[in-house]
Amino acid sequence: MCSGSNMKGSEVEDVNLIKNPERNTGYNGSHIWQAMYNENCFEVGKAIPRGRFGQGDSMCYEERVLYRLLSGWHAATTISVVKNFYSPGTKSAAKGGGWGPNPQRFMTEIGNQPERAKNLHFSFVVLLRAVKKAAPFLQAYPYSTGDGIEDNVTKSLVTRLLDSQLLSICSPLFEAFDETRLFQSSEAKSLRTASAEQRSQLKRQFKSVFKNITVLVDCVQCQRCRLHAKLFSLGLGTALKILLSPPELITSTTSRDEIVALLNVLWKLSEAMEDARLLTNLYFEQHQAEKDRHQAEKDRLPVPPPPQAPQVHLENAPPSPLSLAPLLPAGTTLEDDAPLAAALAAVRRAAASGSLQKLAARRGLPADALEEKLLRFLVVQPSSEEVLLLARHYALERPELFAVVALEAAEAAEGLPQVILAPKAASSGGVASASRKAKVVSTLGEVGREADAVIIGGGLAGMAAAMSLLDRGATVVMIEKQPYLGGNSGKASSGINAALETSVESLVADTTRSAGALARPELIKKLAEDSAAAVGWLRDRTGVDLSMRSQLGGHSAQRTLRPSNAFVGAELTYAAGQVLTKMAAERPWQFRLLLKSKLTGIESAGSSGSWLAKVQGANSSELVIAGRACVIASGGFGHDSKEVESMLLKHRPDLADFPTTLGPQTTGDGLKIARDIGAKLVDMDRVQVHPTGFVDVSKPGEHTKTLAAELLRGVGGLLLDNQGKRFTDELGTRQAVVDAELNSATQGGALAAPMPPRTFSIVLNGKAAAKADRHVTLYSKKGLLRKVEGLEGLAAHMGVERAQLNETFEAYNAAAKVGLDEFGRKVFPAEHWPIEASETFYVGRVVPVIHYTMGGIAINIEGQVLAADAEGLLPNLYAIGEASGGVHGTNRLAGNSLLECTVFGRHVGLTLPIQKTTEEREAEALQRRGLPPPASAVAAAGTASAVPAAAVAVPAAAAGLRTISKQELAKHKSVKDAVWVSLYGQVYDLTEYVEEHPGGAQSILDVAGQDGTEHFEAVHNKELLENMGFDAIGKLGV
């Protein structure tokens, strides 16, 4: 139960985990984590609730357990990495040359994510329950390593762990999880009435899902990372097996390796919880020291002691992490408000003593945010008489206690209207005083405080628009139907197009050819001309490596970019999601993120041109979100076949029985609502059917399929019918390949039942598979590709004649030599042919699938929505991504979906009118304090075409570097003489890092004393240098 193929074999050696600790290797495993989370989805008949990616909050108990275990595992891994983040020889390495921590990253990934910390503790409880249940077995187990002393130490340590008195201390924690509820859920009525067979099926699927998750560990390319991941997956699997097995079976079913993994994972979880505490303290120590330094430089005044009287003059107030100056006019005093002054002094003293930091840590918030919440509650909102009375009696003597209770009052009052103080007219003495009577302003996006933009949808298009808007200083509310960001963009795996080293004209030509008779030249031109700048911005803004380049079907050049070690959609959406999630947590007044919130309507707010979005919130609450502009980025309608009003069945009833790769959220909500308010819809009958969606042979009838990426055919994958014959140019446009499949199916060429109608085989020889190693490995682990040896093995697996397969491949080899085959194919990937009878093959089943809807809301090149009944526009309404229509015409070119999201999302973000830019807001804040505006604002005011400083500035780190000649560099090529390597034109001293390199010292020594950029690029990316804290010691000369 729950164990993968992790058992030790004859070729496996023991590894000392103490000498090989988990730490930062520079490897980005986000795509593996995303794949694991995606695996956690059950569907067992209609009697079982839909899984974690179903509508609303429908995760069943079993899925919640697996999700929390995965999240706890993820948190423990993250903590280990950030604890040992900066390698020896970098600027942030530990004193004495050891590995240094990254407290800021810890706070971003864990400290500000309380649910992740909770799931870490949950996983620890699960392990404790397993150890307690297996205590008799573990106590009696013969621990034998061949070293008698070591064995006695091990036995004594296990005895201490299993001591009943120690475990009894933790007994209250055990109630956080009860394994007996698995497969017996009383939460869902459907499960209470489910049959024993359905419950048994659920149990089998639980086991299958966990096994699929564990085998994904083999996709981890970093050896050290994979070692610890395998240990963790085996430990969790062992704990679940113990908890779900009868006690009498534990002895006979638990192996030595499983005991090792169980105890080590328990230790790793325990250590992670302790490290979390230490990293939290370190973060606050560093943060406070930096704030003190910054404030001292800013004020140029000694910090006075806390006031002895309940009176605060803001102009002379001691420095605080958050100044009150933006909240009150300069020169304002609070002499007439003694309780309020005492309350403010208490907050400041609580911050100085560290009490606020502790409160913030418990709530998973930055201390600054918590302090600001208290100050706004006391000053911006009219404080209750009870709080002011509390301040009168407790603020001076017990500031920490006052802060705790005031915070509870602030949290209880959240959601009530806020107020902004307005100054009274100047008194006869000429001193302005603050009025407690103020105008009411709502939470961002609510009526009275409308956002600059309301974005509907959190896929790549919506996220590109949001990041561009927020970077300009706009206020934004994003509404996302799913419980996470990314949408269908996260599934994209082939790449994103860009005219970087290829011409814009060729991208226009290829896109126009794919678009056919419905091509709209102005939209295609916009897409192609902006592609290089937009993709470059996305790469730089997210930090995602896009160094790999390939030529996909329908393309005349290699212009499709993807990461060298990850899946493009998952990487881009994860990175962009991190940016926006952090923004929502740190700057809620500028960005509000509403997840699990469904758009139910849009209506005009009147003559102002603003829009009101009606939203059903996460808890079925009804919200109205106001914005000066509305951006519809809600995706298409490819999963709309079961909706009450199905756009798919209305416009393409012939596709009713076609499976899809799209998520269940893709039901055309935004399109229907836009149509109802007068938007024009175009090309609604143009639905892209992708030629290759994998058929899982264990679940051939499943409606949602995994996309077989275009890349598989791009590297040499061939499509074969039930006789083993080719029938199309595999690199033709998607529509051409689909047409060939449908034609072959009508002639009896498709595979027989139980495969779905229109199913064919996709075959990659070993040389082609090596060029798509990451994809092939993942698909193989998921059971979607099968590895066979030689032509005989392939013929046997496919059930066709070997002679026919040999004839097919010989004909292909001959065509590749001359550059043309009988289907008009002219491109044959280098190094994949000739296909040889003796090599390894990978074979899978594929079927045409609904993949994209070209039709949608009509737009112009600015992304503005066209009106249905006139030539004009719907003011301040935009549509981007798959929600828009007309960009792709008859059929979308591969790689253009992510490009469209990026180009039009960024363009709307850059051009949509906003009320105030970041620079304008900063200048106003300085003006309120009686200070002059920054020089940049003055310069910007003097010339509208001023070039941003960032565009021309020389990086500070590079400006003062000395020039190192190639001759000097060549002298430093050994540990004895120091190991210097040139990367991207700068020289780095890697002497202390050589022995720590996860790939081994030799790979660094091979390029020591010379330019190693090409070797580095083959495995890593430029951002890794900065992320790991490496500082250049010079720039390379001649």
Amino acid present at 866: L
Judge contact between 1009 and 973, C-beta under 8 A: yes
Distance CA 358, CA 363 (A): 9
- Looking from the CA of 776 toward its CB, the CA atoms found within 13 Å total 24
DSSP 551-608: --TT-SS--EEE-SSS-HHHHHHHHHHHHHHHHHHH-TTTEEEE-S-EEEEEEE-STT
Report d(CA 729, CA 718) in Å as an integer: 9
CA distance 760 to 694: 10
Q: In one letter, which amino acid is 796?
A: A
Running DSSP on this structure, what letter comes out for residue 100? B
Q: Which two tokens stand for residue 547?
A: 């160094």
CB within 8 A of 946, min separation 6: which ones? 939, 940
Is residue 990 helix, strand or coil?
Answer: coil
Q: What residues pair up with 980 in beta bridges, in sequence order? A: 989
**Whole-angstrom Cα distance, residue 418 to residue 381?**
5
Question: What is the rounded distance in angstroms from the CA atom of residue 834 to the CA atom of residue 828?
Answer: 10
Largest CA distance in the chain: 105
Q: 116, 228, 628, 713: which is the annotated catalytic residue? A: 713
Q: Residue 996: which of 94, 71, 50, 62 has the closest Cα? A: 94
- Residues 833 and 840: their CA atoms lie apart, in Å, by 13
Whether 726 sits among the annotated catalytic residues: the reply is no
The letter for the amino acid at 35 is: A
Q: Please provide the DSSP assignment of 866-887 as one string.
A: EBSSSSSEEEEEEE-GGGEESS
Of 78, 49, 77, nearest to 64 by C-alpha is 49
Angle among Cα 121, 123, 129 to the nearest 5 degrees reads 105
What are the structure tokens assigned to 675, written together?
A: 């149509």
Separation CA 487–CA 882 (nearest Å): 11
Q: What is the residue type of 132?
A: K
- Residue 1027: DSSP 8-state: H
The helix-helix angle for 114-133 and 223-243 (nearest 10°) equals 60
- Based on C-alpha coordinates, what's the Rg of the chain? 31
- Count, residues in the chain: 1038
Determine the 3-state secondary structure of 854 from DSSP. Answer: coil
Catalytic residue among 52, 559, 690, 888: 690
Q: Which residues of 28-67 are buried (b: 16+ CB within 10 A; e: fewer)?
A: bbbbbbbbbbbbbbbebeebbbbbbbbeeeebbbbbebbb
Q: What whole-number distance in Å separates Cα of residue 1016 and Cα of residue 1022?
A: 9
Q: Are 126 and 182 in contact (CB under 8 A)?
A: no
- Check if the beta carbon of residue 130 is closer than 8 Å to that of residue 174: no
Distance (Å, whole) CA 1014 – CA 967: 20
Contact between 981 and 1010 under an 8 Å Cβ cutoff? The reply is: yes
> In the structure encoding, which two tokens stand for residue 481, read together?
């139907």
Catalytic residue flag (residue 703): no
For β-strands 560-562 and 973-974, DSSP reports them as unpaired
Which residue's structure tokens are 């806390």? Answer: 306
- Is the four-CA dihedral 651, 653, 656, 661 of positive or negative sign? negative
Is 646 in contact with 472 (CB distance < 8 Å)? no
Q: Which residues are catalytic?
A: 690, 713
